[in-house]
Structure 1
Amino acid sequence: MKRISRRNFLKVAGVGAAALGLAACGGSKSGSTATSGTASSAAGSSTGSVNTAGFTVQYGPNPETLDPSLNSAVDGANTIITIFEPLLIINENNEVIGGQAESWEASEDGLTWTFTMRDGLKWSDGTDLTAKDFEYTFKRMVNPDTAAPYAETCLGMIDGFDAAQAGDTDALNVKASDDGKTLTIVLSYPCSYFDKMAAFASMSPVQQATVEANGDAWCTSAETFVSNGPYMITEWTPSERIVLTKNPNYVGGWDSSKIVSDSITLLLLEDSSASYAAYNSGEAVLIKDVPTDEIPSLTKAEDGGDFYVDTILGTYYVSLNLQRDAFKDAKVRKALALAIDRDYVGNTIMQGTYSAASNLVGPGIVDEQGYFYDNANGGSPYIADDYEANMAEAKKLLEEAGYPNGEGFPTIEYSTNDSGYHVPLAEYLQQTWGDLGITLSISKMEWSAFTAARRAGEYDVARNGWVMDYNDPSNMIEQFCTDNGNNDGKYSNPDFDAAMEASKVADPAEHFAQLHKAEDILMEDMGCIPVAYYNDFWLQSSSLKGVWHSPYGYWYFQYGYIEE
């Protein structure tokens, strides 16, 4: 296994360079600043006639949820950023700009953030939207009854968070002015990337009236769905399509003169063959789920074709359900991790579209001294690149754990959704863990059922992954804190939790030192098994213009249109 190639590293190097000095909780306050990512536009300026009727794309199956506070999937977020708008947004130049807030400022000590709302804000149903809607949303999100997976990530730095999570939601120090014009948020410690957090999809507002009238069903049909973005849902046929129509009541940060397409249709397909057929027939002008067996025949965009591969800041990993007795021993977990030939996975199974992962936090993510990845573990990978030696060590560890040649180890099940490389990887793990004497069965599930089961802990082993929401390593690492809503493996180590808590300081050096310590502990425990560093790959027609792709795995369709 080799480290990520220089070519791919350089694609994300600019991402980290732009974020140096801005990534830590603590440090100077932020105003309107460049984000820690570099958007990759796959569309040029228009040279022909513009068709504003609309276009059709595919980037995922039926979403598990489109409630911004409950979503934790990239495909859901891709829709949410089109139909909702948070306080701030990330524009096509990778800058944080005003969204529903026209301006914002942080106090000198970095603790008090004040957002001034735009005039004339409306929900898609035409009713007024004010700062009070954001206060309601954030207090709903922190409510333990909501069980929002991103609550700690998004709101954990706000004063009163712990008391709010314990049930006193009014303790969260978020307050709208009586006239609804300003929103004041008081933090418990300085967080220099809080402006980027305010632009995160999960921080989008939800309308209290429709939530209370319809309960959890408010976000499951077009009839009850109320949003505030440039597009709104007007048709939803589950597992078939969602139709987004331009929102006539939209007021916000996107340039309305550039929002020209009347509609955007989302094909809800998980079968890559069906997606590919839709693309080849001309029904869809962009698809994310490309059949892997077709990749060798596709021409890359850099060579004049329509196949795009773009680095994103994320890691594909395997979750072990640590509530299962089979995985209580760290020696077992390490044995399973060492038995994976990551070069083979990245270059053969994933056909070079992903890169071998030896650490949890991958390239492009910064720390005070440069790149977190380079400075982790004393500059050495956590998982060495000698596969034969790794396999020998895996067998030794399994024997030390009481399972010589796998004898006595229970049969385990690998859960995954059936798209992309997920099943081929599962079949490879079935073979390589079989070489340890471990029997692995495979359970293929529909996407929304799979994610729900994984979050509920109803699995033995499951494919998993994380794409960064902002360029600070805490975003990748904190999901393994004991009480984090995204801790699907139920990993728990008091020393790890203590290091993560100690990272919440204003001193960048101490912040990153504690994050390195936390990753050291996690990888020593093998609390998850890193496999590969993500790239996004997709097919896109040259007729689709005005859209762009970010290093956080998002497509921005707000300005999209068809050129004829």
Structure 2
Amino acid sequence: MQKKSVIFWLVAIVLLTGMMAGCGDKETGYLRYALSAEPETIDPRKSTSVAASTVEAQLFEGLTTINEKNQPAPAAAEKWEVSADGAKYTFFLRKNAKWSNGDPVTAQDFEYAWKSALSPELASAYAYQMYYLKNGEAYNNKLASADTVGVRAVDDYTLEVILERPTPYFLSLAAFHTYYPVHRKIVSTDERWSASPKTLVGNGPFILKEWVHNNKMELAPNPQYWDAANVKMDKLELLLLDNASTVVSMFERDQLDMGETMPASEVPRLLREKKAFLYPQLGTDYYSFNVNQAPFDNPKVRKAFQLAVDRDALTVKALQGGQQAAYGLVPPGLSDAKPDQDFRQVGGALLKDHDVETARRLLAEAGYPEGKGLPPVTLLYNTSESHKLVAEAVQEMWKKNLGVQVQLTNQEWKVYVSNLEQYDFQVARDNWLGDYADPITFLELFETGNGNNVPGYSNRAYDRLIQIVRTSNDQSVRMQTMHDAEKILMDDAVLLPLYFHSSPLLVKDKVKGYIRTVFGTVYLKGAYLQQ
């Protein structure tokens, strides 16, 4: 969830706002943080959820990190050099960086981690994030060997990276969790290394002390961390709470210091009382249609369902949390060809909101006038009060506007993710948070074979456009091509955009020093409690 290079940040700086609280008297102790779900894994090469990335951001550290200004900063690498053509990076690792077991963090660990994330055998959903490396995509598709991938340990503390092409936001990508290192010797001999505090070895500011499934994770300062002197908290208690009402109740009873979730109906009050704060976030919530399963293998049916939703009613009347109605996939906050222009504003609205007349006509043309004869439809969402609120509102809109009865099914996070991965759904709640400051971070999701292509969409014309975006160095060409690609997605009704994010976070007044990035990552390394 990030991006960088020196010149690149002329673009990215337009966008971002992080948060790093100030100074004052400090006290040690522990911070209680509510995660919205239990991480499916905390192997950074495999994870996909926000909950997992939040935990990993405390346990691991990439070559770079994202600072309070949402810019890349030195982390495991103390400095780097970039070639004149922008396609080669040389990173110089800190010689005092150690793993939590005391072993040195080496360039070989990074090389191993990156190549293993790309390995076809690991089948990482985020492998495509490594396609920026020379021959990364070819290796992942079994068309080249690992030896040809553009990452090489020159020596223990020098890592050479060769890219397929200049990538202005690569320094930001280097802070993303798929680019974290893993301990080569431990990981290569124990495939379950990340499942237990006894075997998990990280290089970040904290270590995992306890993991009680469906309850909590406990983290403690990592005494081997190179910057241990600036880690403030004695303990982090990460509570695994998927019930938003419970989170607010515990927060108001002083049983929590920070929390990611809250009922949509409570957001206005919590913001007004300054118990929660809104943070800009590069994110979009949408429903994905399974384009390979009836009745949503018919684009007219998908389009009818897409047009029959009143997004303004969702955001203003139902959610009430500062969200913005979405009429496309890519959210505001990303620059277009001209840095002072916003991609979303240039692209405009790509679908008409609440176009009931057209929706009914399309459904009839598909053979289902007034919804008659339509196979049973189920909408799947992961357990959350706000997701339930949206699902019930959309369910009622589809009933009123299309005459369609839709069954709602909610599932615990891991079961829900498993069903998405197996394409065992018809319509499913989905979302995406940008990983770096370029619209391609959203659009590449729907490329054929992408590990996060939830709808199972495949369109050769669309794939060709994504390849043009990846290979062109002309920003005008890239941006226009991405506008064209987004239009294809909306015309094909692969997804139903709902709203763009503005993310509320529960925070006690006494909590200072944390960083919340525009990509949704929370860094607690510098967090402390002010007396």
The TM-score, its normalising length taken from structure 2, stands at 0.94
Match of 2:516 in 1: 549
For the structure 1 residues 53 and 352, does the alpha-carbon distance in structure 2 shift closer, same or farther, using more than 3 Å as the test?
closer
Q: 1:281 corresponds to which residue?
A: 253
User: How far apart are residue 384 of structure 1 and its match?
Assistant: 2.1
Cα distance, 1:30 vs structure 2: 5.9
CA distance in 2, matches of 1:308, 1:132: 41
Q: What residue in structure 1 maps to residue 33 of structure 2? A: 57
Letter in 2 for 1:234: K
Q: Deviations 1:511-539 (Å, cap 9, x if unpaired)?
A: 11211111111111111111100111122
CA distance in structure 1 between the aligned counterparts of 2:69 and 2:132, rounded to whole angstroms: 27
Consecutive unaligned residues of structure 1, counting only runs of 5 or more, are 1-15
Helix, strand or coil: the match of 1:421? helix
Aligned to 1:484: 450
Contact 1:29–1:107 under 8 Å retained in 2: no
> 2:150 matched to 1:173?
yes
Q: Is the 8 A contact 2:70 2:518 kept in 1?
A: no
Does 1:121 pair with 2:89?
Answer: no
Name the counterpart of 1:433.
398
Distance 1:438 1:124, change over 3 A: same
Structure 2 residue 473 is matched with structure 1 residue 521: no
**Aligned with 1:245: secondary structure?**
strand
Which of the numbers 169, 186, 189 marks the counterpart of 1:213?
A: 189
Q: Partner of 1:351 in structure 2?
A: 320
Structure 1 position 262 matched with structure 2 position 227: no
User: How many angstroms apart in 2 are the aligned matches of 1:137 and 1:279?
Assistant: 38
Q: Which moved further from structure 2: 397-406 or 546-555?
A: 546-555
In the aligned structure 1, how far is the partner of 2:366 from the partner of 2:38?
42
Structure 2 residue 474 is matched with structure 1 residue 503: no
Q: Assess if the C-alpha contact under 8 Å between 1:135 and 1:176 holds in 2.
A: yes
Q: 193, 207, 224: which one pairs with 1:232?
A: 207
1:236 alignment partner, SS class = strand
Q: 2:431 is paired with a residue of what secondary structure?
A: strand
Cα deviation for residue 393 of structure 1 reads 0.6
Question: Is the 8 Å Cα contact of residues 265 and 320 (structure 2) preserved in structure 1?
Answer: no
- Name the counterpart of 2:344: 373
- What is the SS of the residue equivalent to 1:276? helix
CA distance 1:162–1:38, change in 2 (3 Å): closer
Q: 1:110-152: per-residue Cα shift (whole Å, max 9, x none)?
A: 1111111111221111112200001101110111111111111
How far off is 1:31 after superposition? Answer: 9.3
Correspondence 1:263-412 to 2 at 5 A: 263-300=235-272, 305-369=274-338, 370-376=341-347, 380-385=348-353, 387=354, 390-412=355-377
Counterparts of 1:34 and 1:123, CA distance in 2: 32
Equivalent in the alignment of 1:469: 435
1:358·1:383 contact (CA, 8 Å) conserved in 2?
yes
Classify the secondary structure of the residue corresponding to 2:100. Answer: coil
Shift in Å, 1:446: 0.6
Relative to structure 1, is the Cα distance of residues 342 and 33 closer, same or farther in structure 2, using a 3 angstrom cutoff?
closer
Q: Deviations over 1:334-390 (max 9, x none)?
A: 1001000000111111124311101111211111131111111xxx411224x3xx0
Give the structure-1-normalised TM-score.
0.89
Pair 1:422–1:79, CA change in 2 (3 A):
same
Gaps in structure 2 of 5+ consecutive residues: none
Q: Give the length in aligned residue pairs.
A: 524
**Cα offset, 1:94, TM superposition:** 2.7
Deviation digits for residues 158-187 of structure 1, max 9, x if unmatched? 21123311333222121111x322111111
Identical amino acids, percent of aligned pairs: 32
Q: Which string of whole-angstrom CA distances, capped at 9 and with x for unpartnered residues, describes residues 316-337 of structure 1?
A: 0001111202112211111001
In the aligned structure 2, how far is the partner of 1:555 from the partner of 1:391? Answer: 41
Distance in 1 (alpha carbons) for counterparts of 2:380 and 2:187? 32
CA distance in 2, matches of 1:249, 1:36: 37
1:40 offset after TM fit, Å? 3.6
RMSD of equivalent CA atoms: 2.1
1:35 CA drift (Å):
5.7
Cα deviation for residue 296 of structure 1 reads 4.3
- 1:68-107 per-position Cα deviation (integer Å, ceiling 9, x unaligned): 1111112211111111000111122333121111111111
